[in-house]
A and B are shown apart, each in its own frame.
Chain A
Amino acid sequence: MKEKFNTIKSTAVPLPDENVDTDQIIPARFLKATTREGFGDNLFRDWRYDSNGQPMVDFVLNNKIYQGKILIAGKNFGCGSSREHAAWALYDYGFRVVVSSFFADIFKNNALNNGLLPIVVNDTFLQSLIHAVNKNPATAITVNLKAQTISFENQSADFEINPYKKSCMINGYDDIDYLLSLREDIKQFELS
């Protein structure tokens, strides 16, 4: 059973860089753990800390003004390696939503499998969201998964999500629960 996803109202952290790959989200040398927890400490490690482990003041996660459960990302977020650790790290750090105009495939799947909602919006909406948060970091953003809407100030956008994945997230189910219920069918398939 995973955490159930309901409506989220939160401020957001803007990271509008394009093509952020999973090696940036969690560098390979931090993939050595054999559990799912604790990856948040090394989220964006090489952008967050210098080689002496000192926080880099320019990086948005080190800027206390920006906080919240929503990450606003640039185009093609999560490209590269299939490491699910990227989704775990974002979740472990406290994010529950990533908004972008475009996600890489495997990352999107991994996020959905871990209670992290990837929301695709069009570029215009993304830009005005970034603009609003930059202007006022206290901007509150509401994500309503049931209604499939994301809104802030007086703007709102609908987003798509596969109905099956939506019900999984709302109910805290994962794919294995469904697959396990099909075991007899799978055995039959193997025999055929």
Chain B
Amino acid sequence: MPKTLFDKIWDKHIVTSREGYPDPLYIDRHFIHEVTSPQAFDGLKKRGIGVFNRERTTATADHNVPTKDQHLPIKEALSRHQVETLRKNCKDFGITLYDLGHPFQGIVHIIGPELGLTQPGMTIVCGDSHTSTHGAFGAIAFGIGTSEVEQVLATQCILQHKPKRMKIEINGELGKGVLAKDIILYIISKISSSGATGYFVEYAGDTIVHLSMEARMTICNMSIEMGARGGMIAPDETTFNYIKGRKFAPHGDAFNQKVEEWKQLRSDENAQFDKVLSFDATDIGPMITYGTNPGMGIRISDRIPTAEELKDISEKPSFIKSLHYMGLEPGSQLLGKPIDYVFIGSCTNARIEDLRLVASIVNGKKKAEGVEVWIVPGSKQVQDQAQREGLDKIFEAAGFELRSPGCSACLGMNEDKIPAGKYCISTSNRNFEGRQGPQSRTFLASPLSAAAAAITGRVTDVRELMKISKVDKVPH
């Protein structure tokens, strides 16, 4: 029977099958952070048990940490307590922690791939929904709740029911100024924020094959934003080249051997998916969201729909509520709309490639008057690399600073919050009400679009800016 990539990996990780019980799925790699792990460790303590396999869990502090003066003690008492609790738990249970100040610290979904901990064919979980990011390497990776974090710590397994399989194919050449972020915002705008609930998605097609690893991670990252359990992409030369030489990747002969294994990791021809969707890359433009869920997106050059134009009329009340929250008129244009904040960061778009893209737009320019710009690298390694390449100098000259790594304004748990009523163009993944701070208003967009807005102070079609500054080759 031909199998999908998902089935191949899944089936290999089932420990045992018992009638009437869900299958225990063995987990190869487990990431933890300060917010969703303390109650899981508590559970272990109450049961009087240790961690089943310490080697397979890696911890970092990211959600709650300040992005300025990271060397000083965390000011906010509760945040500090959470990070200290993580420290103590990792020490007590013997788990490797990349703490603040460590050269490997960063957002959990950025450091895994960066350190070579994320590899093809693995099962990977973390108490965080954007664990789907790691699927870009041809792994089954998905977010779990704290009870499941406890399961993994206690037994290296979780009980799971097999999701349905969906294939999303994208073919064709991307237009100028169109990035992976635009691809995924486009797909979600077409199928809605619940369009893939119950499914695990495999992305395929020549557009995907031509993407860099960073871009693939951006796409898989936002799979959860259409309700999918996770997303994955079959590994290929691009994947192997990315992994080669990374800290925890296999080296030498072991690496070559692994590559031969990894080459088998693809869906067989004629493998059956429960659902197949196809999109044409030439239809995708720079995208932006206007509402309060990631499915409410449009091409930046289009206008916001009116309630009458909605595909599903039952969505009318939430559409109206959402636009009211955003302070926007149905049917109006977003282009030219003044913005107050620009946030470039998060596990969606805070890798080195993203910062290079931003630098390519702002190089030699100044940020618009009155606009606050925050660039928060995804990890310490990204920060160091950006400094080595002099990107920090470009940002400084433009009037903003490269901060220290963390989740920051992606979820506003630390002090980086967008004030009530203010508009932020953000490279993160969620535009929910209050996500970036109480009553904050978020436009999700690509790093290029965010950089363009930083310069003009308005929602801008980056292609216009690229014409003037003659940046015509940007890597996808």
Residues of chain A touching chain B, judged by Cβ–Cβ distance below 8 Å, are 17-19, 21, 23-24, 27-29, 31-36, 46, 51, 74-76, 79-85, 87, 102, 104-106, 109-110, 113-114, 162-164, 174-176, 178-180, 182-183, 185-186, 189-190
Contact = CB atoms under 8 A, between A and B. Distances in A.
Q: How large is the interface on B (under 10, 10 to 19, 20 to 34, 35 or more residues)?
A: 35 or more
A62 B315 CA distance: 25
Given A21-B432, A180-B155, 6 more contacts: A75-B314, A79-B193, A80-B430, A106-B129, A114-B147, A175-B158
Contact of A51 (B21, B42, B146, B439): B439
B413 interface: yes
Contacts of B163: 105
Contacts of A23: 411, 430, 432-435
Contacts of A28: 63, 411-413, 435
A32 B26 contact: no
B434 A34 contact: no
Contacts of B388: none
A72 to B, nearest CB: 15
Contacts of A84: 36, 39, 127, 145-147
A178 B159 contact: yes
B229 A105 contact: yes
B337 interface: no
B362 interface: no
12 contacts: A23-B433, A24-B432, A28-B63, A32-B413, A76-B194, A79-B197, A81-B430, A82-B127, A162-B161, A175-B147, A180-B154, A185-B16
A43 B64 CA distance: 20
A179 B155 contact: yes
Contacts of A186: 15, 24, 26, 52, 155-157
A43 to B, nearest CB: 14
A10 to B, nearest CB: 25
A163 B18 CA distance: 13
Contact of B151 (A21, A24, A179): A179
B278 to A, nearest CB: 24
A178 B163 CA distance: 21
B226 to A, nearest CB: 10
A34 B87 CA distance: 13
A19 B433 CA distance: 11
Contacts of B293: 19, 21, 79
A169 to B, nearest CB: 13
B198 interface: yes
Contacts of B229: 105-106
A152 B35 CA distance: 40
Contacts of A82: 36, 127-129, 143-145
B454 to A, nearest CB: 24
Given A19-B293, A84-B147, A113-B147, A34 B155 contact: no
B123 interface: no
A174 B147 CA distance: 9
- 8 closest residue pairs by CB, A with B: A34-B38, A84-B145, A32-B78, A110-B145, A82-B143, A113-B147, A82-B129, A84-B146
A82 to B, nearest CB: 4
Contact of A104 (B85, B194, B314): B194
B318 interface: yes
Contacts of B53: 190
Contact of B36 (A17, A83, A163): A83
A75 B150 CA distance: 29
Interface in B223-270: 224, 227, 229
A102 B438 contact: no
A153 B196 CA distance: 35
B79 interface: yes
B276 interface: no
A51 B197 CA distance: 34
Interface in B295-327: 314-315, 317-318, 321
Contacts of A104: 194, 197, 227
A35 B47 CA distance: 15
Contact of A19 (B79, B150, B193): B193
